[in-house]
Amino acid sequence: MSEKQMLYQKRLERYMTAMDCGKPDMVPVAFGVGEWIAKYTGTTLQEIYYDLDKSNSIVSEMLPGLDFDIFKGGPSLWWPPMFDAMGSKLYKFPGIGVEENSTFQFNEQEYMKPEDYDEFIASPTEWLVNHYLPNISTELENPGSYRSTVALIKGAAAFAMQGGIMAQAYGKWTMDHGIVGQGTGFTKAPFDTLGDALRGMKGVLLDLRRRPEKVLAACEAITPHNVNCGLAGAGADTRFPCFAPLHRGAYPFLNPNQWNNFYWPSLKATIEGLWARGKRMLFYAEGDWTPYLEKIAELPDKSIIFQIDTTDPKKAKAILGGRFCLQGGVPTTLLTYGTPAKVKEHIKRTIDELACDGGFILDAGGVVMGDAKQENVIAMIEAAREYGAY
């Protein structure tokens, strides 16, 4: 076994032990290269988003100097050429729609209309193909036309190309640097699937008043699909969690009654469905979820990794600790507005409070934004190693 393979095994063991609420040799550290890297490399965000080779080479250059365990990914969340091929209305990307160094913007609309509920509920996948894709894609406005057919060919080809390029990059990073990828599979809370891209925030909030039974039926129809999306295929690796960014469930988007009745049941069913197949969810609780911790504690033991963003960390530890692995604990604002000294001080306190008896992965609380300072991000990793030995 090579040195890097041994390093991989050590980091994997550290990660697996923490996920199962155990105490590894040291606190595992998760790390992702965010958009903040652009200003340190003389590249524009547009180049980073469009040129996957360039984006991946930036990651390859960074990795040798960094000692962390779990890799969360490179600086671009999406590959815009695929969206361009489809004429997607969903995003404005750097250099096309917004300035070349601006982050992407989600263009939220009611891509699904209130009158579409019944057809969507009857057969979600067919409705997405027949109505949603043409609604969100200018190239698909005339289904069956030359432009539409070519766009679908290009879009699917881009989907496969991106998957292949990223799989190759992860393979190389694993072999060359012994890093462990955080997860496989991507899913969401069914209410977020409905409320983010289909109905939009305004649409889904109006629906809670005007057609609540449709919202519930749609969430129920989405649930088995979200279990499938999280599994990432029948032969998926169930050692690693699926990533689930959670949006409208953060306090106070919904009132507690709405959360209990509309948000939680289908998310809980999704998590239970995944767990029944051995798949854990990285419950990426963006924002504050403190009021809901007791409900989240109803989940099967170890079925999630709970991400602490602005949720009260002490309460999360008290209510979820020991039964679920916790991840996060470092405010993204600290990485932007703090100093290396303040970051180190915070890491020491966080490890003392959250990692004492295991079941904890140190990480930034949420997505590290483009204005974060590299010295603070590096200080986070270094401090984790300095204070993280058990």
Determine which residue in the list 110, 131, 159, 166 makes contact with another protein, applying CB under 8 A: 159
**Distance between CA atoms of residues 282 and 185, nearest Å:** 10
Determine which residue in the list 1, 2, 234, 298 makes contact with another protein, applying CB under 8 A: 234
**Distance between CA atoms of residues 377 and 331, nearest Å:** 11
Task: Find the angle CA(175)-CA(176)-CA(178) to the nearest 5 degrees.
Answer: 65
Residue 122 buriedness (CB in 10 A; 0-12 / 13-18 / 19+): exposed
Determine which residue in the list 125, 146, 257, 389 makes contact with another protein, applying CB under 8 A: 125
Name the minimum Å distance from CB 104 to another protein: 11
Name the minimum Å distance from CB 159 to another protein: 5
Hey, is 302 helix, strand or coil?
coil
| Footprint (CB under 8 A) of another protein, residues 68-97 | 88, 90-91
Determine which residue in the list 40, 106, 337, 390 makes contact with another protein, applying CB under 8 A: 106
Tokens 């000692």 — which residue?
Answer: 67
Tokens of 298: 């109803």
- Site stretch for another protein (CB under 8 A), options 229-237, 279-287, 339-347, 366-374: 229-237
Residue count at the site for another protein (CB under 8 A)? Answer: 33
- 29 or 229: whose CB is closer to another protein? 229
198 binds another protein (CB under 8 A): yes
Specify whether the CB–CB gap between 225 and 124 falls below 8 A. yes
Specify whether the CB–CB gap between 32 and 368 falls below 8 A. yes
What residues contact 293, with CB distance under 8 A and at least 6 apart? 311, 315, 316, 319, 320
Task: Find the angle CA(142)-CA(143)-CA(147) to the nearest 5 degrees.
Answer: 70
227 binds another protein (CB under 8 A): yes
- Site stretch for another protein (CB under 8 A), options 225-233, 248-256, 280-288, 370-378: 225-233
5 binds another protein (CB under 8 A): no
Name the minimum Å distance from CB 192 to another protein: 9
- Site stretch for another protein (CB under 8 A), options 129-137, 260-268, 333-341, 352-360: 129-137
DSSP per-residue codes, 209-274: HH-HHHHHHHHHHHHHHHHHHHHTSTT--TTSPEEEEE-TTSBTTS-HHHIIIIIHHHHHHHHHHH
Name the minimum Å distance from CB 88 to another protein: 8
Instruction: Please give the residue ranges that form the binding site for another protein (CB under 8 A).
Output: 88, 90-91, 106, 122-123, 125-126, 128-129, 132-133, 136, 155-156, 159-160, 186-188, 193, 196-198, 224-229, 232-234
